Amino acid sequence: KAGVTQTPRYLIKTRGQQVTLSCSPISGHRSVSWYQQTPGQGLQFLFEYFSETQRNKGNFPGRFSGRQFSNSRSEMNVSTLELGDSALYLCASMWGLQYSYNEQFFGPGTRLTVL
Amino acid sequence: DQQVKQNSPSLSVQEGRISILNCDYTNSMFDYFLWYKKYPAEGPTFLISISSIKDKNEDGRFTVFLNKSAKHLSLHIVPSQPGDSAVYFCAASAGNNNDMRFGAGTRLTVKP
């Protein structure tokens, strides 16, 4: 069974640009969550999508947005990039049924560097 | 706000000894707790979990303890092995909300 895949693995952008990251969940998983990992901050929750709808959202500015497609693949977009957006962006998938405990399976991440 | 805190950024133990990683949380609505292990250049992998109806869960060398009154959980690894060297994240969520909150991580180094 294939794991969570993320593309691209590495990205270098300059301030002011925008970027789109992609995540393909494990087959059958309907929930995709996005996290930002920076040194000292751990994993900070960005948002979660389930069945093409944003179900949960963390405390990030509106420059961070996402969407999910009917095949559960998800994209995350960051507009007007800032130096502080340099981070490892992780996506995680799970079955996603509410009122049940779910373990998340993480992808390898996309390393974004903003110059 | 950091609802889940891992106050020790790093921990070093000798092979064969016990590793104890600690985690504190502030949100009393959390009722499901997980530990993840992360190697460099890889995504975190699920290690062990515990729900709030229990105070202990064991899986091989890994045991998680939950103290609800203190809002504290810990992960014990016995005996520690060099391959356990990684960053460990604790995470928490409310059962009906898949918004999972993570701590900042603790880097464990197990020395041969």
Say which DSSP state B88 is in.
E
Nearest to residue B110, comparing CAs of B41, B36, B11, B21? Answer: B11
Residue A61 exposure: Cα atoms within 13 Å on the Cβ side: 8
Q: What does the buried/exposed string (b/e) look like for A58-67 if buried means 16 or more CB atoms within 10 Å of the residue's CB?
A: bebeeebbbe
- A23 touches A107 (CB < 8 A): yes
Q: E strands within chain A?
A: 5-7, 10-13, 19-24, 31-38, 42-50, 53-57, 64-68, 74-78, 87-94, 105-106, 110-114
Answer for the pair A31, A49: CB distance below 8 angstroms, yes or no: yes
Exposed, middle or buried, B2 (CB in 10 Å: 0-12/13-18/19+)?
Answer: middle
Per-residue pLDDT at B95: 64
**8 Å CB contact between B25 and B1:** no
Q: How far is B109 from chain A (nearest CA, A)?
A: 17
**Residues in B 85-104 with any Cβ partner in A closer than 8 A:** 89, 91, 95-104
Contacts of A99 in chain B (CB under 8 A): 95-96
Residue A78 corresponds to which tokens in the numbers above? Answer: 């960051």
pLDDT by residue, tens only, chain A of 115 residues: 579 999 999 999 999 999 999 999 999 899 999 999 887 677 888 999 999 999 888 889 999 999 999 999 999 999 999 999 999 999 999 887 765 556 788 999 999 999 9
Query: Is B40 in the A-facing interface, judged by CB distances under 8 Å?
Result: no
Q: What is the DSSP letter of A99?
A: T
Give tens-digit pLDDT for B37-48: 998 878 888 899
CA atoms within 13 A on the CB side of A82: 5
Q: In angstroms, what CA-CA distances link A85 with A74, A91, A102, A112, B54?
A: 19, 16, 28, 8, 39
Min Cα separation B79/chain A (Å): 25
